[in-house]
Amino acid sequence: PSNRTTLIAGNWKMNNDREEAKALASALVEALPEVPAGVEVCVCPPTIDLCCVSHKLDGSAVKLGAQNVYFEAKGAYTGETSVAMLKSVPVQYCIIGHSERRDYFHETDEDQNKKAAALIAGGIVPIFCCGEPLEVREAGTYVEHVVAQVKAGLTGLQVTDPSQLVVAYEPIWAIGTGKTATADDAQEVCGAVREVLAEIFGAELADGIRVLYGGSAKPGNIAELVAKPDVDGALVGGASLVAEDFASMVVKA
């Protein structure tokens, strides 16, 4: 909301083979011949399908993002993908620090800081994820938890324009569970994220940086979420795999 462009970003995770990825991209382009003013859309397919999806999205209003990146420029890092490789596809956004990467692949806050710096230097917008597990939510220390993640992940970055960075608040207990945080819960933490962004980057930049909510966002709750003053869109998992659902979220945002 406010003067910020709403961003609806789809995280396909490890789903779809090549033909399915191409079909989903085509269905989405068909369902979204145009995107409402003030809204931006992107999809983040698996790395192996970035090129074929890029061809399908060519000339459409749907932008392309990656799900992960490595921070080193090149060399002996078997299985990894550099910023320059993503840029050459071309990719405009890249999710970093998703809770699945942090939990299953042991990625640290320090890794996120290096990834964010490399992406920004290379002209790709990081979608930096943060969020608390259920036990932290229940203990009541979730704001402190998220603020610490944002500080560790984003301090020291060379951000000169607010469009260079996106943050996604994703409470882990709401991811893939069907259990959405209420719009008020989302606002509370997204507002706290904006405050810590102001500490790090200054109030003016922080006012322009998009802060998304993620966690079981769907057509039925997107309007209520983005109506909140500090919720500037959504990072969408499950619902981004169904073209009609994802398109309908874009229209309702």
Q: Which residues pair with 236 in a beta bridge?
A: 10
Which residue number, 171 or 208, has a Cβ lying nearer to ligand PEP?
171
Could you say whether residue 9 binds ligand PEP (CB under 6 A)?
no
- In Å, how far are 26, 86, 110, 237 from 69, measured between CA atoms? 25, 8, 14, 18
Q: Whose Cβ is closer to ligand PEP: residue 98's or residue 194's?
A: 98
Looking at residue 93, what DSSP letter applies?
Answer: E
Binding status of residue 153 toward ligand PEP by CB under 6 A: no
Catalytic residue among 98, 100, 107, 132: 98
Residue 126 contacts residue 167 (beta carbons within 8 Å): no
* 237 appears as a binding residue in the annotation: yes
Site for ligand PEP, residues 83 to 142, rule: CB under 6 A: none
Residue closer to ligand PEP by CB (options 39, 217) is 217
The string of DSSP letters for 135-194 reads: HHHHHT-HHHHHHHHHHHHHTT----SGGG-EEEE--GGGTTSS-PPPHHHHHHHHHHHH
- Is 176 among the annotated ligand-binding positions? yes
- Candidate residues 45, 65, 214, 233; the one interacting with ligand PEP per rule CB under 6 A: 214
CA angle 139, 168, 31 (to 5 degrees): 130
Sole binder of ligand PEP in the list 62, 91, 236, 249 (CB under 6 A):
236
199: annotated active-site residue: no
Rounded to whole angstroms, how far apart are CA atoms 213 and 225? 8
Which residues are paired to 213 by β-bridges?
169, 234
In the annotation, is 145 catalytic?
A: no
Among 123, 176, 202, 220, binds ligand PEP (CB under 6 A): 176
Site membership for ligand PEP, residue 237 (CB under 6 A): yes
Annotated binding site: 11-13, 176, 216, 237-238
The residues that are catalytic are 98, 170
Residues that bind ligand PEP (CB under 6 A): 11, 170, 175-176, 214-217, 235-239
